[in-house]
Structure 1
Amino acid sequence: MSRRSKMKWIGSCLAMVAALWLASASAAGLSIQSSAFKNGQPIPKRFSCSGDNQSPPLTFAGVPRNAKSLALIVDDPDAPSGLFTHWVLYNMAPDLVVLAPGASDQPLPGPAVTAKNSTHHANYHGMCPPPGDGIHHYHFKLFALDTRLPSDLANRAALVKAMKGHVIAHAQIVGTFKRP
């Protein structure tokens, strides 16, 4: 291999490594966590319909500087009737870093808006799989948006439609829950 070919090959390799590093750095930016459960682990009973039915504590980090708002969708793809939405919260301020336990029962932070969940109520609905239905997975999906959305979105479907083309980052944590 000639010196020129080697240099070209090394340059290509370096460009590929740089692209991969930038992709992983941007993908690793936005995060959502909970002090109540770790990713892939059980969610405590108190956050379910068998407990206090309150939303778990959530923390957000790594929000892109150009984000104008945050949106949160909590859903259960394992529900017997198909995807079940537990909470839809959007237009949260991009500098919001914590949703305390039971945040859905408190005044919403700043300009935040709640849309209807699968029970047709604009609040958090705790995990409530049928008894004996096995383990369900609850996806807490955080989206950083480059805009604020209209404050009259009816439900998850309307939010997803309105977010199209505006998501600049997203993150997710998944908790599990089952009822005996």
Structure 2
Amino acid sequence: MSNIRFSLSSPDLQEGHFMAKDQEFDGFGCSGANISPALNWQNAPEGTKSFAVTVFDPDAPTCSGFWHWLVSDIPAAATGLPRGAGKGSLPPGSRSFTNDYGSKDFGGACPPEGHGMHRYQFTVWALPEETLPAPDGASAAVVGFMLNAMALAKATLTATYAR
């Protein structure tokens, strides 16, 4: 068995560090560029047939966190997503789900002013099927459930943000 682990990295984010204004949402009182960061993954497990990417804020004052981005059916040949892919330039065959802003695009950080530091969990999921078995209109909670139920592996990079 290999000791090489499935991993996620980004030239735009550092584990545990503050995100740039580029990754802040443009709306809801925020004025960022709303640009998804570049994401790169390595060492997917054997049997991976597709990937999914999610961005989740567990610190949002909602009782259920806040989903910022949900993408599935990313082809198994992919090794990442380029900066800005969250504005509709995903690999062919990829599928986006509605985030908690009501959009299928990347929705950047926008924690309430004075609410303190929030964590943003950028996760790539290695999946054993080419298509996530969730309907196109599935809620973020259903997508998250399906990902957790079937993932071969996942890798997370957690960045922070506050206003």
* TM-score under structure 1 length normalisation: 0.79
Q: CA deviation at 1:77?
A: 0.7
The 8 Å contact of residues 81 and 90 in structure 2, kept in 1 or not, is answered as: no
User: 22, 26, 36: which one pairs with 1:55?
Assistant: 36
Is 1:152 the counterpart of 2:136 in the alignment?
yes
Task: Find the aligned partners of 2:144 and 2:110 in 1 and give their Cα distance.
Answer: 24
Contact 2:88 2:105 (C-alpha < 8 Å) held by counterparts: no
User: Following superposition of structure 1 onto structure 2, how do residues 54-93 of structure 1 map, counting pairs within 5 Å?
Assistant: 54-82=35-63, 83-93=65-75
Q: Quote the offset at 1:164 in angstroms.
A: 5.0
**2: CA distance between counterparts of 1:59 and 1:174?**
14
Higher mean C-alpha displacement, 161-170 vs 113-122: 161-170
The aligned residue for residue 87 of structure 2 is 105
- Secondary structure in 2 matching 1:152: coil
Instruction: Give distance in 2, aligned partners of 1:37 and 1:31.
Output: 14
Which structure has the bigger radius of gyration?
1
How many residues are treated as equivalent by the alignment? 155
Q: Which position in structure 2 is the counterpart of 1:171?
A: 155
> Hey, what's the Cα distance between the residues in 1 that align with 2:79 and 2:119?
24
Return structure 1 stretches of 4+ with deviation > 6 angstroms.
none
Corresponding residue of 2:7: 31
Task: Assess, with a 3 A threshold, how the Cα gap between structure 1 residues 164 and 178 changes in structure 2: closer, same or farther.
Answer: closer
- TM-score, with normalisation over the residues of structure 2? 0.87
Tell whether the 8 Å contact from 1:88 to 1:114 is kept in structure 2 after alignment: yes
- Name the structure with the higher helix share: 1
> Is the 1:55–1:103 Cα contact (8 Å) retained in structure 2?
yes
1:100-144 per-position Cα deviation (integer Å, ceiling 9, x unaligned): 111011332021100011122211110000111111000011110
* Residue 16 of structure 2: aligned partner: 40
Letter in 1 for 2:32: G
Change (3 A) 1:76 1:165: closer
**Is the Cα contact below 8 Å between 1:143 and 1:170 reproduced in 2?**
yes
Q: How far does residue 153 in structure 1 lie from its aligned partner after superposition?
A: 4.8
Q: For residues 138 and 86 of structure 2, what CA distance do their matches in structure 1 show?
A: 17
Is the 8 Å Cα contact of residues 88 and 155 (structure 1) preserved in structure 2?
Answer: no
Deviation at 1:157, TM superposition (A): 1.6
Identity %: 32
